[in-house]
Amino acid sequence: MIFTFAAFLFFLVIGTPIVFVLGIAAALTLIFVEPGIPLTIISQRIFDSLNSFTLMAIPFFVFLGVIMDEGGISRRIVDFAAALVGWIIGSLLMVSVFASTALAAISGSGSADVAAISAIMQPELRRRKYDIDFSAALIAASGSLAQIIPPSLMMVIVALISNLSVGALFLAGILPGLVTSIGLLSCGYLHAKRGGDQYRETEPFTLKRLGQTFVRALPSLVMPVIIIGGIVGGVFTPTEAASVAVLYGLLLSIFIHRDLRIKRLPGMILRAAALASGVMMIVGTASIFGWLVANANVPALLADWIKDFTAEPWVYLLIVNVLLLVVGMFMESLAAILILVPVLMPIAIDFGIDPVHFGLVVVMNFAIGMVTPPYGITLFVASAIAERNVLQVARRMFWPWVIMTTVLILVTYIPEIGLFLPRLSGLLD
């Protein structure tokens, strides 16, 4: 197994894309360490890992994100957010966080949310002379909420590989996501309070404007209810929920908003297919790596080591949090989840930790990884659209990072924050 991890780290360090790192490390292991195992196992494992009805939800949710971007859904949500919180000091920061939270409940993709919000908000942020670096950092942190607030793609993956209820995991993410959002709103407000006069330029609050923007945004805001309510209520599966959401988004964008023309659909489908295929390739190659790890009995050996080290669940959770925060800094979240969760989840269950709670902790760690350099995908997206150096933006990430980490610690050691809604719905005992 040492050879496998050495090959993995070598190709990762030299900048090889993660999908090839996983596949090459596994192939080299089979050639030089396990010559008795035929290489055909690679294709078999890839096919078996992708042969899942639940996984079909991923391309549908990716396509939904593309529809949101092209169909005017994001703009209407931003307009509603401006009417709702635009009167508060640091209005543009408030709008950015609120709109990101709302979009998170629709798309499930952090990078897509960050791109949409940044493209809409950055021109006005510059016009009003806001601190662009801090604004980009706050948008990046807010966008990562899409990994926590349902319908999160990461939660679908965690539920699939851990044999958990997708609905229960979705509900578990709602309160932690909202608490994090409130924390980021507070962070933006305190920054604005200490800032100059530009942060005090606000929009007057009027019920008329709020009502008008709410009516325009209402069809879009109904989408999370369709997705989550349908899954939790047992009306349809996560995959069916994703396909229904896509159909609803298309009808909304084409016939109600009328911002999307049918002739643009082929290009949008190709774009979504390209994005989704990248995700699915990672799932396939990670399954080979994960199989080798399991075949080498690594989970059992690691479990024995941890149990010799500590018998306390809180210590194990601390170890996991530190491990995942570090891994999230250097590795794509999806690949890390596919490799580590099958190893760490059985140990958590042995410690008596609720698997839904543990799955939530995993997802929250990798949400923080999305804003933490050197990987930090949402950080890079926000920096690129803001036309700022990523290191400049990263320097202003400290307080948003502290808030996200604080909520993670609270959720880790107060499980009911995440488990309250699943228990209330009857999905957990």
Cβ–Cβ < 8 Å for 204, 276: no
Q: What is the rounded CA–CA span in Å between residue 263 and residue 413?
A: 51
The residue type at 91? S
Q: What is the pLDDT of residues 228-238, one digit of tens each?
A: 888 888 888 88
Cβ–Cβ < 8 Å for 93, 188: yes
Structural domain boundaries enclosing 91: 2-425
Report the sign of the C-alpha dihedral through residues 28, 34, 40, 44, in that order.
negative
| Average pLDDT of every residue of the chain | 87
At 415, the pLDDT band (50, 70, 90 cuts) reads very high
Main-chain dihedrals φ then ψ at residue 415, nearest 5 degrees: -55, -30
Cβ–Cβ < 8 Å for 154, 164: no
Q: Is 352 a residue whose pLDDT tops 70?
A: yes
Total tally of structural domains belonging to the chain: 1
Q: Which of 43-47, 93-97, 99-103 has the highest mean pLDDT?
A: 93-97
Q: What pLDDT is recorded for position 372?
A: 87
Q: What pLDDT is recorded for position 291?
A: 79
The residue type at 387? E
Give the residue carrying structure tokens 């601390």. Answer: 318
Angle between helices 207-232 and 238-251 (to 10 degrees): 150
Distances (CA, A) of 341 to 210, 290, 302: 44, 10, 13
Q: What is the pLDDT of residues 160-216, one digit of tens each?
A: 889 999 899 999 999 999 999 999 999 999 999 988 888 888 888 899 999 999 999
Q: What pLDDT is recorded for position 418?
A: 95
Mean pLDDT, residues 92-99:
93
Give the residue carrying structure tokens 């035929």. Answer: 38
Q: What is the pLDDT of residues 270-286, one digit of tens each?
A: 988 887 887 788 888 87
CA 335 to chain centre: 13
Q: What pLDDT is recorded for position 241?
A: 86
Mean pLDDT, residues 395-413:
95
The residue type at 386? A
Q: What pLDDT is recorded for position 1?
A: 65
Percent of the chain with pLDDT over 70: 100
* First and final C-alpha spacing in the chain: 39
CA angle 364, 366, 370 (to 5 degrees): 115
Which residues 6+ apart lie within 8 Å of 6 measured at CB?
none
Q: What is the rounded CA–CA span in Å between residue 22 and residue 18?
A: 6
Three-class secondary structure assignment of the chain: CHHHHHHHHHHHHCCCCHHHHHHHHHHHHHHHCCCCCCCHHHHHHHHHHHCCCHHHHHHHHHHHHHHHHHCCHHHHHHHHHHHHHCCCCCHHHHHHHHHHHHHHHHHCCHHHHHHHHHHHHHHHHHHCCCCHHHHHHHHHHHHHHHHCCCCCHHHHHHHHHHCCCHHHHHHHHHHHHHHHHHHHHHHHHHHHHHCCHHHHCCCCCCHHHHHHHHHHHHHHHHHHHHHHHHHHCCCCCHHHHHHHHHHHHHHHHHHHCCCCCHHHHHHHHHHHHHHHHHHHHHHHHHHHHHHHHHHCCHHHHHHHHHHHHCCCHHHHHHHHHHHHHHHHHHCCHHHHHHHHHHHHHHHHHHCCCCHHHHHHHHHHHHHHHCCCCCCCHHHHHHHHHHCCCHHHHHHCCHHHHHHHHHHHHHHHHCCHHHHHHHHHHCCCC
Q: pTM for the whole thing?
A: 0.87
Question: Of 73, 47, 46, whose CA–CA distance to 256 is shortest?
Answer: 73
**Residue 261 burial by Cβ neighbours in a 10 Å radius (0-12, 13-18, 19+):** exposed
Cβ–Cβ < 8 Å for 107, 101: no
